[in-house]
Amino acid sequence: MKASIQKFLDSAQTFQCPICGNALHTAGSSLQCPDRHTFDIAAKGNISFLRSQHAHDGLYNQSFFENRSALLSVGLYDHIVREVAHDVSRLPDSHATTLLDVGCGDGTLTKRLQSLITQSSFDSQHQREQAVRELTIFACDISSLAISIASRGSNTIRWFMADLANLPITDSSMDIITDIFSPANYEEFRRVLRPQGSLIKVIPGKHHLMELRQEIAKSHGEQPKGYSNDDVVQGIEQHCTIEHITTASATLQLSKAQWEQFLAMTPLMFHLDKTSIDLDSLRNLTIEAEIVQATMQ
């Protein structure tokens, strides 16, 4: 059996049917529940648990993911992912964990996170190889295009398509959930996390993309407005006990080509005219996030 398929068969007990909620078992190269709801594992190493097969991509198209992957691959968010990896690696029993990355997109950050956790937690090559086997990472997104891109190449991550409001994950089976600039469903997080499991949620900091926000305001003849994530933090506090918050901030110099890529990948520009932005006036870009580590109430 191909490794890309075998990794799902080895983790069958972690999944549940999103239609009826029953446990799934292996059936050839598929996962199946007692009611015979069947979910085929693609040869490239992903599986769809979406009940309907209509597209969920919308504005998140091929161009979006290509530009996103190109920028993230050169380390645009690396300072943020390093802080997330640090939080994960210092958790108790972090050498043997199950981790679910929700809203993983094209998987660039998930793969980088896996690499950093392994490097920061273990010293010798033998220990690193053992760690990769013990650290079981599951990653999901609602976009079939994103998961198709994420599952390219050989890796141990269990990539799957799913609705965040109906995760095909069994109760109390995850040690950690990471949520990097993605929506949250706290009821589902509470269900799938083990007691005292950790949620690590990354949200924009108050200076995030401030140069672009200023340029957008200027192009509309408006005064720049400050950004606050207070409402987001308060929303987290309604469902979780926040253990600590860490700020990760870096101001990077982008080339004109990189700025064009960034404008094509940021949701901030989805409904705006990109030609209204004066690229010649843009050089630096601040990428700032707050990494919130919390436990569910």
The answer to whether 15 touches 31, Cβ cutoff 8 Å, is yes
Is 20 a known ligand-binding residue?
yes
Is 17 a known ligand-binding residue?
yes
Tokens of 41: 């594992």
Contacts 24+ apart (CB under 8 A), 94-98: 94/121, 95/121, 95/122, 95/131, 95/134, 95/135, 96/134, 96/135, 97/134, 97/135, 97/136, 97/175, 97/176, 98/14, 98/136, 98/137, 98/138, 98/173, 98/174, 98/175, 98/176
The answer to whether 252 touches 295, Cβ cutoff 8 Å, is no
DSSP assignment letter at 42 = P
Q: Count other C-beta atoms under 10 Å from residue 90's C-beta.
A: 11
At 277 the three-state DSSP class reads coil
d(CA 192, CA 198): 11
Binding residue positions for Zn(2+): 17, 20, 33, 37
Binding residues for S-adenosyl-L-methionine, as ranges, are: 77, 208
Binding residues: 17, 20, 33, 37, 77, 208
